[in-house]
């Protein structure tokens, strides 16, 4: 369990806590640790949510079951990742998504009461964890809001220039790598993949950008100078 605690230091929930601190509060969170084999359901749509999920080992996929039957993968979880935290904090008792183990996996479910609960000895740790949970949810809201701003733009070029500008701002340089592949980017922007490729080509032709694979370069966007 020790190495698990040191792994959890990178977890958003436990940031700022030393591995020893995590070991201290861990029993106080009364975690419900469960193990799964490949293909088993960690969380099933429309079933009760045991608590906030923490991936301890393995990989799992988060998917939504469409009414037409097929599954849409929303995210892939690795060791240290959090899941279902928004559902639990929002007070949903039944899960809108399905989480499936992609291999052998171990998961800890933490009840919200225990996470927020005040204990006699480790109150400072609890406070830290609570603040971390707030930060996780707030950050997610901000990133979703940013995505909505992109999705709301009318033209593909607008979406791309805004997205690339934000990536450039984040990296602090006009040269940067984008973390998504083309189909991932197309889905993020809510457009067709081939149309995305086409518009990237057009922007390169127009001298706005240059790129090779995932390495992009914003060129000086001079106004109409002829």
Partner DNA sequence: ATACGTCTGTTGCGTACGCAACGAAACGAG
Partner DNA sequence: CTCGTTTCGTTGCGTACGCAACAGACGTAT
Binding site for DNA (CB under 7 A): 154-157, 181-183, 190-201, 211, 213-214
Residue 148 engages a second copy in binding (rule: CB under 8 A):
yes
Q: Which of 58, 85, 107, 125 binds a second copy (CB under 8 A)?
A: 85
Dump strand ranges (E) for the chain. 32-36, 41-43, 52-57, 60-65, 71-77, 82-83, 98-101, 105-110, 175-177, 209-212, 215-218
Q: Is the dihedral of CA 137, 159, 163, 82 positive or negative?
A: positive
The Cα–Cα gap between 24 and 2 comes to: 11
**Rounded to an integer, what is the distance from CA 130 to the centroid of its chain?**
19
| Residues 150 to 169 in contact with a second copy, rule: CB under 8 A | 151-152, 154
Placement of tokens 């088993």 in the chain: 40
Q: Among 8-16, 30-38, 127-135, 206-214, which window interacts with a second copy (CB under 8 A)? A: 127-135
Burial of 110 (0-12, 13-18, 19+ CB in 10 A): buried
Q: Which of 29, 43, 55, 133 binds a second copy (CB under 8 A)?
A: 133
Q: Closest approach of Cβ 173 to a second copy, in Å?
A: 19
Q: Closest approach of Cβ 162 to a second copy, in Å?
A: 10
Q: Closest approach of Cβ 51 to DNA, in Å?
A: 33
Q: Is 185 helix (H, G, I), strand (E, B) or coil?
A: helix
- CB-nearer residue toward DNA: 16 or 190: 190
**Rounded to an integer, what is the distance from CA 27 to the centroid of its chain?**
27
Q: Closest approach of Cβ 148 to a second copy, in Å?
A: 6
- Within 10 Å of residue 89's Cβ, how many Cβ atoms? 16
What does 86 interact with, of a second copy, DNA, none (CB < 5 to 8 A by kind)? Answer: a second copy
Residue 144 engages a second copy in binding (rule: CB under 8 A):
yes
Residues of this chain that interact with a second copy (CB under 8 A) are: 85-92, 112, 116-118, 123, 127, 130-131, 133-135, 137-142, 144-145, 147-148, 151-152, 154, 187, 190, 192
């Amino acid at each position: 369990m020790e190495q698990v605690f040191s792994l959890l230091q990178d977890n958003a929930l436990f940031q700022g806590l030393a591995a020893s601190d995590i070991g201290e509060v861990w029993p106080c969170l009364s975690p419900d640790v469960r193990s799964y084999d490949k293909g088993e359901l960690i969380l099933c749509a429309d079933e009760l949510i045991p608590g906030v999920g923490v991936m301890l080992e393995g990989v799992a996929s988060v998917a939504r079951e469409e009414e037409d039957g097929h599954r849409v993968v929303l995210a892939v979880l690795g060791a240290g990742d959090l899941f279902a935290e928004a559902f639990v904090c929002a007070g949903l008792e039944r899960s809108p998504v399905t989480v499936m183990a992609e291999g052998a996996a171990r998961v800890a479910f933490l009840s919200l009461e225990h996470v927020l609960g005040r204990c006699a000895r480790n109150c400072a740790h609890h406070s830290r964890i609570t603040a971390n949970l707030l930060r996780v949810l707030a950050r997610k809201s901000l990133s979703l809001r940013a995505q909505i701003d992109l999705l709301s733009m009318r033209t593909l070029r607008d979406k791309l220039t805004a997205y690339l500008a934000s990536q450039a701002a984040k990296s602090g340089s006009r040269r940067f790598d984008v973390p998504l592949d083309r189909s991932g980017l197309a889905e993020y922007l809510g457009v067709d993949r081939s149309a995305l490729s086409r518009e990237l080509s057009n922007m390169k032709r127009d001298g706005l950008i240059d790129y090779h694979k995932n390495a992009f370069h914003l060129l000086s966007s001079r106004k109409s100078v002829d």
